[in-house]
């Protein structure tokens, strides 16, 4: 089975070499590695070309800057693999990442193979050593169970990474271009196309939490894309008749907490804050009594009864 690995690259010269090294060093060798240089202005593109000169499995595409979604879509459209994976250019993977994901995909006759994800700091990124010894206890779950687990923030996340998709799944939908939080609705739709999913909690994908990430940025109105995607999921759940409404509502409320707590008291974005706050007030009791909702969200919903200030304080403390 040929696996196409799509790596968006934009001004990450400090990190992209390590990402590429962990891909070309995989125990699973049948890879097509597509590096999409999204208009980098540093040496990222040159680094990609240098690796392509050493490994004929690497294809480098240079394009004008269009954002993460466009870079992923570019790679997806030209991918030749039987399965497709997304790896961000500042993250890295375990040496057995593709061997395990592919094995689980084939043995369980699944459409999507998922593994655990570990969040690492800059210091851990520099010093972490990876052992090839890993325990792989994969389980098979239905697509609906996977959707409910993702939306409820249990088992695994809505990230497009840490997953291997059959080609027909990854090419069934494209990421929304020029939008933030692009994984939210897109990955949800990938899973609606799947019949079976396999999952191992082995943490084989390493997500680098660095200062320039979206979670660290100052609030802007474009972050309301988060809410837009949550609303799209709810509409899709209604139309499809799936029994996922509680989980979809829970995920939208979580997105609203994110927005409200990132808007400071002196902000000009009061309309955005009130829009999200109204969702929290509308659904908080429903989340509190939902047995599937995570405890942290239940706590935040209860705390919201006392107003925005204590909510913002506790939320920010929980992120430290």
Q: Are the C-beta atoms of 284 and 305 separated by less than 8 Å?
A: yes
User: Would you place residue 30 in the very low, low, confident or very high pLDDT band (cuts 50, 70, 90)?
Assistant: very high
pLDDT at 120: 84
pLDDT at 128: 62
* Average pLDDT, integer, range 187-200: 95
For residue 226, the number of C-alpha atoms closer than 13 Å in the C-beta half-sphere is 23
End-to-end Cα distance, the chain: 42
Pick the CATH number of 3-208 from 3.90.550.10, 3.40.50.2300, 1.10.490.10, 3.40.640.10: 3.90.550.10
Cα torsion angle, 152, 158, 163, 164, sign: positive
Q: What is the pLDDT of residues 218-248, one digit of tens each?
A: 889 999 999 999 999 999 998 776 568 999 9
Residue 233, helix vs strand vs coil: helix
DSSP assignment letter at 212: T
- Taking 60 as the threshold, does the pLDDT of residue 179 lie above it? yes
Answer with the residue of higher pLDDT: 264 or 277: 277
Residue 292, helix vs strand vs coil: coil
Query: Could you write out the DSSP letters of every residue in 135-203?
Result: ----EEEEHHHHHHHHHTT-SS-S-SSSEEEEHHHHTTS-PPTT-SSTHHHHHHHHHHT-SEEEEEEEE
Which residues, in sequence order, are bridge partners of residue 38? 63
Answer with the residue of higher pLDDT: 25 or 317: 25
Cα torsion angle, 156, 159, 162, 166, sign: positive
Q: How far apart are CA 71 and CA 29, in angstroms?
A: 24
pLDDT at 42: 96
For residue 177, the number of C-alpha atoms closer than 13 Å in the C-beta half-sphere is 10
Q: How far apart are CA 304 and CA 306, in angstroms?
A: 5
% of residues, the chain, pLDDT over 90: 74
pLDDT at 218: 82
Domain ranges of the chain: 3-208, 218-318
């Amino acid at each position: 089975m040929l696996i196409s690995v799509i790596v968006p690259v934009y001004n990450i010269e400090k990190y992209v070499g390590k990402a590429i090294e962990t891909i070309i060093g995989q125990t699973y060798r049948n890879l097509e590695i597509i590096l999409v240089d999204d208009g980098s202005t540093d040496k990222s593109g040159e680094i990609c070309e240098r690796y392509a000169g050493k490994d004929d499995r690497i294809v480098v595409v240079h394009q004008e800057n269009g954002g993460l979604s466009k870079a992923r879509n570019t790679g997806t459209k030209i991918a030749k693999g039987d399965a497709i994976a997304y790896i961000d250019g500042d993250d890295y993977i375990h040496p057995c990442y593709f061997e395990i994901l592919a094995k689980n995909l084939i043995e369980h006759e699944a459409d999507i193979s998922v593994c655990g994800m570990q969040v690492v700091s800059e210091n851990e990124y520099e010093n972490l050593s990876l052992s090839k010894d890993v325990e792989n206890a994969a389980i098979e779950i239905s697509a609906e169970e996977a959707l409910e687990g993702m939306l409820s923030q249990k088992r695994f996340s809505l990230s497009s990474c840490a997953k291997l998709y059959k080609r027909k799944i990854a090419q069934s939908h494209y990421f929304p271009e020029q939008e933030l939080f692009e994984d939210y609705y897109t990955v949800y739709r990938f899973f609606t196309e799947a019949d079976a999913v396999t999952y191992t909690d082995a943490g084989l994908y390493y997500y680098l939490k660095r200062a320039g990430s979206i979670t660290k940025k100052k609030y802007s109105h474009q972050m309301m894309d988060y809410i837009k995607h949550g609303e799209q999921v709810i509409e899709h759940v209604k139309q499809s008749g799936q029994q996922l409404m509680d989980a979809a509502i829970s995920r939208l409320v979580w997105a609203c907490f994110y927005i409200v707590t990132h808007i400071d008291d002196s902000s000009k974005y009061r309309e955005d804050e009130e829009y999200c706050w109204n969702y929290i007030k509308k659904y908080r009791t429903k989340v509190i009594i939902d047995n599937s909702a995570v405890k942290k969200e239940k706590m935040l919903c209860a705390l919201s009864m006392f107003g925005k200030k204590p909510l913002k304080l506790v939320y920010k403390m929980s992120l430290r």
